[in-house]
Each structure stands twice: as C-alpha cells, then as structure tokens.
Amino acid sequence: MRPPVYYELIKASSEGMARRGRLHTPHGTIETPVFMPVGTQATVKTLSPEEVAGMGAGILLSNTYHLHLRPGEDIVRDAGGLHRFMNWQGAILTDSGGFQVFSLSALRKITEEGVAFRSHLSGEPLFMGPEESMAVQNALGSDIMMAFDECPPFPADRDYLTQSLLRTTRWAKRCIAAHKNPDRQALFGIVQGGMEHDLRKLSAEQLVELDLPGYAVGGLSVGEPKPLMYEVLEYTTPLLPKDKARYLMGVGSPDDLFEGVLRGVDMFDCVLPTRIARNGTVFTSKGKLVVRNAQYARDFAPLDDACDCYTCKNYSRAYIRHLIKADETFGIRLTSYHNVYFLIKLMEKIRQAIETDTLLSFKRSFYEAYGYEN
C-alpha cells in the first residue's frame, strides 16, 4: 500500500539537479517544485483561503508551536482538524515546532527527552519532545508532519553538530513510533549536520534508512552566507533518494528559489512575501519596490506592470501607498496578495522552464531584470 503522501518524479532535468515532479497528498496533487505560502496561525496573513487557492497554491504550511499555544490543538481537533478549522481544501504541511521552541521561546533547556521552554505569549512553562510534537500534529491533522529535530545555530562546532544530528535521528525514530495516523498523515525527516559534508552524509544515511516519504534539508537559512547554503544543498540533496520529496525549510526569496531548484529541491516555504508586504515592500519583475515611499504618492502605475494579479489589474501604487500610510488593512491585503502571487507564479514559470530545458536561460533573464548578480 502506498503511503498517504508520496513523490512522483516526472523529469530529471539536465540543468543542474532541477527536477519536475508531483507530490500526491490526501488533499490533492501538488506540482513540484512548489512554493508553499505560510499560514502560521491557521491563516495566510490578511488573505482568504479562496484567494490563496485562486493563485494556484495547493499546499500551505502552518506552525505547530503557534497552534499548540493558541488556540490549542484540542480546539483544532474538535473543530474537525486544521483543514476544516481554517476552511482550506488543499494540503497542509505542519512543522515540528522545534524551530520555534528554539528561536521564539524563552529559557529553553534541551535534554534527550525533549525541550523544556516557556511560552513567548504567557511565560507558562511547557515541554515538547518528539512524542508531544507528534501528538499535536496528529491532532491538527496535517497531510505532512515534520519530525521533531534540533536545529543547531550557525556557527556551531563539529562535536555539537554531531551529537545534535545523532539525537535528531533518535528523535525521528521516536516520532515514527509515536505517530498515530500513518494511514492519513505522512512524516518527513529532517537532515541536519550543519555546514559539514561528512556530518550531512551521516545524518542523511541514518534518516534514509527510516524510509520516510520525504526529507527536509534542515539547519539552513540560520544566518550562514548564501553561497554556503547553496554549497551545503549541492552536496546534501544527492544523498537523498530520487523518489522522495526534498524540502528546504524557511526559504523563499526569488534567488533562493532558483538556486534551490537547481540543487534538487522540490518544496519551499517562507513568510517573506507576507512579512515584507506588511512593511509596504513588494516583489516586482524589476526587483523589490517599497511602495510606501514618497516617490509613489502620484504614481498611478500598478505595482508591477508585468504582473496580472488582482492587485496589479485594479490598483495603483498611489492608492496602495495611501492605504498603507493611512493604516488601512486593505493596503497590506493588496501587497500580501501580490507578493504571494508573485512567488507562486515564479515557481510556475520555473516548472515550465524545467519542462522545456530553459531554466538556466530563464534564471539569467530573471536575474538581469530583477537586479541580481548573474
């Protein structure tokens, strides 16, 4: 019997390690590579589920740590699960909560058992380990659950990285044992090992042995220089099975999407499009634009004249700037919509370019227009 989520490789490109595939889930089939919008608190900030689905998004990420704290996974479970709670018909991936426990909470203490920490909202003392993470994710009912891992900081020494990755493997095994719904929720593993090739190899080997339907390359985008992240990806993705999905967590700037895809990544997620939108910054085909700047007060052009999204078809930079300056929520709805659309459509074009073996030339022309160094 097939697992509830499985990856289907359609085409391995001759350009880098790029590949076209499909991710089959209980809530629809996702064309990959894919960008997953983030709905941290069971909502993609400012947007309706219909708006997000209408852009072509088939899978969202939501955060286990945040939903555990508020409203609590028991409420989500009693509502019929996260899909029904938030009115999302597509697939959902939940992270393990590990990253937020390390980065957001206060006074954390890591032991073999798990992590003791204090809520960043209430200060309440809490504990999360592999079993707790699985229990929360089982209650949320996501299609893809992530194993509870330890994400070391950058830089970290080899000894620490080694101990940490071995613990992450032990925790992954405990996650498998604790997972209550293997028939309808898939569990992905997370490869650690810092910026050390041999440690990545060790971590990947141990996790691949567990035969999970997908693997994330963890411990990246934690402050290291971008070339180093690309280098780690370059030697880590080949360590993973070709018939399993590969996921680069928390990464979503346009250049990282291109570079990740060229290094064999299938899945990405990032809060970047909605976060910068709230500051009045938008992606355009000619680079980032800070629409709240005074220079756009009388600019009646759309955010990006090469864009055909709802925002760009109907509203001017001057109007959006006015709304943002006037603290009107509809302004950040419009910029959020545009930014998420931009990344969804960029990934759609990347998939087409893989199909037609034109990814490198598409990358060159995109970078040139965007202002990235080629």
Selected binder of a second copy within 29, 87, 356, 361 (CB under 8 A)? 87
Nearer to a second copy, 45 or 351 (CB): 45
CB of 95 to a second copy, least distance (A): 17
Interaction of residue 328 with a second copy, rule CB under 8 A: yes
How many CA atoms within 13 Å lie on the side-chain side of 193? 24
Interaction of residue 85 with a second copy, rule CB under 8 A: yes
Query: Which range in 5-13, 45-53, 173-181, 188-196 contacts a second copy by CB under 8 A?
Result: 45-53
Nearer to a second copy, 57 or 332 (CB): 332
Interaction of residue 355 with a second copy, rule CB under 8 A: no
What are the beta bridge partners of residue 25? 28
Interaction of residue 297 with a second copy, rule CB under 8 A: yes
Interaction of residue 296 with a second copy, rule CB under 8 A: no
CA quadruple 140, 41, 229, 273: dihedral sign: positive
CA quadruple 313, 317, 322, 326: dihedral sign: positive
Task: List all residues 6 or more positions away from 227 whose beta carbon is below 8 Å from its beta carbon.
Answer: none
CB of 289 to a second copy, least distance (A): 18
Selected binder of a second copy within 48, 181, 285, 358 (CB under 8 A)? 48
Nearer to a second copy, 107 or 326 (CB): 326
Interaction of residue 243 with a second copy, rule CB under 8 A: no
Angle, alpha carbons 174-176-179 (nearest 5°) = 105
Total H helices, total E strands in the chain: 15, 16
Interaction of residue 78 with a second copy, rule CB under 8 A: yes
Burial 218-242 (b: 16+ CB within 10 A, else e): bbbbbebeeeebbebbbebbebbee
Indicate the DSSP class of residue 63: -
Interaction of residue 119 with a second copy, rule CB under 8 A: no
Q: Which residue has the tokens 């044992």?
A: 177
Check if the beta carbon of residue 303 is closer than 8 Å to that of residue 284: yes
- What is the per-residue binding string for a second copy in 121-160, x denoting contact by CB under 8 A? ----------------------------------------
What region does 310 belong to: left with phi over 0, alpha with psi -120 to 50, or beta? alpha
CB of 131 to a second copy, least distance (A): 25
Number of residues that bind a second copy (CB under 8 A): 36
Check if the beta carbon of residue 154 is closer than 8 Å to that of residue 37: no
- What is the per-residue binding string for a second copy in 298-327, x denoting contact by CB under 8 A? x-x-------------xxx-xx-xxx-xx-
Q: Which of residues 329-348 bind a second copy (CB under 8 A)?
A: 329-333
CB of 70 to a second copy, least distance (A): 6
Interaction of residue 59 with a second copy, rule CB under 8 A: no
41, two tokens: 């608190």
Q: How many other β-carbons are positioned within 10 Å of the β-carbon of residue 319? A: 18
CB of 338 to a second copy, least distance (A): 13
Extract the runs of DSSP E, i.e. beta strands, from the chain: 6-12, 19-25, 28-32, 34-36, 59-62, 91-94, 106-110, 115-118, 125-128, 144-146, 186-191, 214-217, 245-248, 267-269, 281-282, 289-290
153, two tokens: 């900081």
Selected binder of a second copy within 79, 110, 210, 271 (CB under 8 A)? 79
Active site residues: 95, 269
**Where along the sequence are the contacts to a second copy (CB under 8 A)?**
41-43, 45-48, 66, 70-71, 75, 78-80, 85-87, 297-298, 300, 314-316, 318-319, 321-323, 325-326, 328-333
